[in-house]
Amino acid sequence: MDERSSICIGTEVPEGLRQHVTASKKAQVKWYQNMLEAYKNTTPPPRTPAEAAQLVATALDWIQRADLEGILEFYGFSIPSLPAASSTHHPQLLPEGVQFVLNTLPVNNKNIGDGDGFTAYVATTDPRESAIVPLEVHEMVIERNQARNRRDYQSADALQNRLNEAGYKILVCSDEEILARKYRIRMRGIDAPELKMAYGKESRNALVKLIGGKRTIIHVYGLDQFERYVGDIYCDNVFIQEQMLKNGHAWYFKKYDKRGEFAKWEREARAAYRGLFVLENPEKPWDWRKKQRNGGIPVC
């Protein structure tokens, strides 16, 4: 049987595949394993080229778009519409004011700056992201992979730095390199103690426990004055701001948010002396920041 006529042809990566993709042989092995596993678990098996193309696209929806298209081209398949995002990740009825939804890769603990902000990355295979990746970013990724294949690591590192400057980063997830876009996140409606304040480190640690190493869903409402994306954070079906407020790890930021439940959750934590409210007279972070701007002079 010709190796292009079916995706179920054995356990070895076809030799000709590398002419259509830029990723490493190790990555190709993992792709092929995923494809074969998907084929075995599909009942009935795909009977038409269109069905087979959809199976491949679904099994490999996490790899770079250019490589996915290369695989489909190798097998002679037409490029199908990429699988739509799960409705659990994109609720049909979003709260008023939500501009878009981010489905992030697992959040690195080191990227959690304090109790109300962190840096997240979204894979460019995400349907929303794939449509807005600049052409020059795609070109840099291809050039970097080519440089690595010829062992020109100095050029590859230089291209990696250029990607970082453009707001993108190549991350390794499950032994696979993924191109992802960087987002600086500010959690909407709460204000946590700064790291140098009393309870600052404890607040950050609480957020690490909630989202560290996990994927998050972010409802984005807009940008703040520091170019951070302001949003509501969900992880493991938990509303993260609610947990931070109920456990006394943050203050309700009523200057920028008018949700009554936020005020209620803070009152509950205060009444139960949870978190920062065990302190005799906890300082509000907005007062602390204002005092820092005034050269340490207390706020009246």
**Which sequence spans correspond to the domains of the chain?**
17-75, 100-285
Is 267 one of the catalytic residues? no
The 10 Å CB-count burial string (b at 16+, else e) for 137-171 is beebbebbbebbeeeeeeebeebbeebeeeebebe
Q: How far apart are CA 269 and CA 251, in angstroms?
A: 10
**What is the 3-state secondary structure of 199-267?**
CHHHHHHHHHHHHECCCCEEEEEEECCCCCEEEEEEECCEEHHHHHHHCCCCEECCCCCCCHHHHHHHH
CA distances from 200 to 18, 92, 99, 152, 249 (A): 50, 37, 30, 44, 9
Q: What is the DSSP string of 21-72?
A: --S-HHHHHHHHHHHHHHHHT-SSPP-SHHHHHHHHHHHTTTS-HHHHHHHH
Is 181 one of the catalytic residues? no
Identify the active-site residue in 129, 176, 177, 194.
Answer: 194
Identify the active-site residue in 144, 186, 188, 204.
Answer: 186
Identify the active-site residue in 184, 228, 259, 274.
Answer: 228
Residue found by looking up tokens 């009977």 in the block:
47
Residues 118-128: tens digit of each pLDDT: 999 999 999 88
Tokens of 25: 């042989």
Answer yes or no: pTM beyond 0.85: no
Residues 130-171: tens digit of each pLDDT: 889 999 999 999 999 999 999 999 999 999 999 999 999 999
Return phi, psi of residue 118, to 5°. -160, 165
DSSP annotation of 66 reads H
Q: How far apart are CA 155 and CA 144, in angstroms?
A: 7
Is 184 one of the catalytic residues? no
Bridge partners for 157 per DSSP:
none
Q: Is domain 100-285 annotated with CATH 2.40.50.90? A: yes
- 29, 15 contact by CB (below 8 A): no
Tell me what pLDDT residue 13 has. 77
Q: How far apart are CA 243 and CA 264, in angstroms?
A: 12
Return the H-helix or E-strand segment holding 156: helix 153-165
Tell me what pLDDT residue 300 has. 44
Q: How far apart are CA 207 and CA 205, in angstroms?
A: 5
Q: How far apart are CA 22 and CA 288, in angstroms?
A: 51
Tokens of 2: 């010709």
Tell me what pLDDT residue 76 has. 83
Tell me what pLDDT residue 11 has. 55
Looking only at the bridges linking them, the beta strands covering 100-103 and 251-252 are unpaired
**Which among 196, 165, 142, 122 is positioned nearest to 20, based on CA atoms?**
142
Each residue's pLDDT, cut to its tens digit, for the chain (300 residues) gives 344 444 444 457 777 777 777 667 777 777 777 777 777 777 788 878 887 888 887 777 667 667 778 888 888 887 775 444 333 334 446 888 999 999 999 999 999 999 999 999 999 999 889 889 999 999 999 999 999 999 999 999 999 999 999 999 999 887 788 999 999 999 999 999 999 999 999 999 999 999 999 999 999 999 999 999 999 999 999 999 999 999 999 999 999 999 999 999 999 999 999 999 999 999 999 999 999 887 765 544
Count of residues for the chain?
300
